[in-house]
Structure 1
Amino acid sequence: MCSSSSPIVLITGALTGIGRATALAFAKEGATVVVSGRRESEGQALATELQGLGVQAAFIRADVRHEAEVRSLIEQTVERFGRLDVAVNNAGTEGATGPLTEQSAENYEAIFDTNVRGVLFSLKHQMRTMLAQGRGAIVNVSSVAGQVGFAGASVYVASKHAVEGLTKSAALEGASAGVRVNAVAPGPVQTDMLERFVGRSEDAKAGMRAGNPTQRFGTVDEIAQTIVFLAGDKARYLTGQSLAVDGGMTAQ
């Protein structure tokens, strides 16, 4: 997994769902894991849980919407562990759904501030560190909504298309210096975000399952394992790509 037997991995939005599963997956691979999010008590509890797996782990609080906090997050990681080998930009929000004609500036800002500004700031400071090192791997958590459209989720879809564009552009800037940037694009995954997205409607979830070739939702562990792969040496010639982990949803 990168060039060290114990890579230093940073995960934003790490306290629940895909982020939490990814932290556990890297820890089980023997990585040193820095988890970040906005809730201190949950973050410290996760770091303790990771340490219980026999690896070094730390929680550093940061809100990716604020560049100064992102800069400090990267600086603290490097100061404590010496370098940054892998970064997973998972912090995101679905915002309010509904017709495009009813979208507000407030909802746009809430979604784009986290999903786009947060990824932009994270990439900026992660890449500065990795370019200086001459190596590193970044995985942005996008969505199939970054590859296709969804009625009733226009602002979220636009934000994830932006993540896909940032991924490609950053990959081109880092490629010659040994810094890889990819994205994972999950389809419907059983998380609390999915529950919020469908308004906790069992009928809506049943419809989504029926429309998927696998007739099921993905799991957070399935997404986490894809992220671990993208960050590792087995994918060292893979950059600027977005892998849809969606049960065949976008193949239809």
Structure 2
Amino acid sequence: MKRMAACVLVLVGAVVTLHCATVNAGEPKAKQPSPAEMIAALASKNRPPKYVDHEVLEGHKVPIFPADYDWKEYERVRVALYAIDRKMTPELWEELLKHIGDKRYSITLALTGPGLPDEDAGRDFTVGAFCEAIAYDCVGKLYARHSVSAENDTKPWERIAPTAGIRNLVEWRKQRAAKPLWQLQVEACTLALGNLARLDKATPEQKATIRKGIESEIDRLNATKKPTLLRSYICADGGVIHIDGWHEGSYNANFAGELRRRYGKSDASTQD
């Protein structure tokens, strides 16, 4: 009797498992967003904040977020930015180039750096600004990541980084329209090698180290004939968005309320 009961249980379990597998197999897979849709997600539904003069940092402004600023929307944009960075493809890279110059508001970031009194100075960033930075990193990080320490006691964070000297990435790409991304990366790395002599602060030993690192990137690209898709500098630091000395800092609903209390009586203007 016990053997029969055990057999029934096994049979029932098998039927349930088969049923679940059949149901799951019939479920449609979630549609992956297109490159254009991924970039469209960087545009915020929030209105950009107004700005007032910073009380300490001359020339800097403080964002006065409206009371109805949607911080869930801020987080949605942040997640969308990380999605682009994590799911880079050659097709997405080409789409990024199309949106360099896109003026739609994305998010506001805070000024950060050694010796700064607060994280309240802010700046708005557009969809185009992020597209440009990520697109450049997709080509340039392969050689830039072989930077060396400047050995500066007063600025221990300073690095000596090679550069390819690409001033206009969109035009540079147009002039090489037939080349796939991996070949563009090879060319950019080769340009960086040609500019090593201009790194005046680097010692001969440091230049040799940089050269060896960049040459290894070129060898890998030529061997695989596939692009090396690294995470951009914007999203690579422990989950914090940062670009050109600005990062997401302490901006949230509570801090925004504090800024309104501290600066709310000043005349606010829209940031250019």
TM-score, with normalisation over the residues of structure 1? 0.26
- The structure with more strand, counted as a fraction of residues: 1
Choose 1 or 2 for highest CA Rg: 2
TM-score, with normalisation over the residues of structure 2? 0.25
- The structure with more helix, counted as a fraction of residues: 1
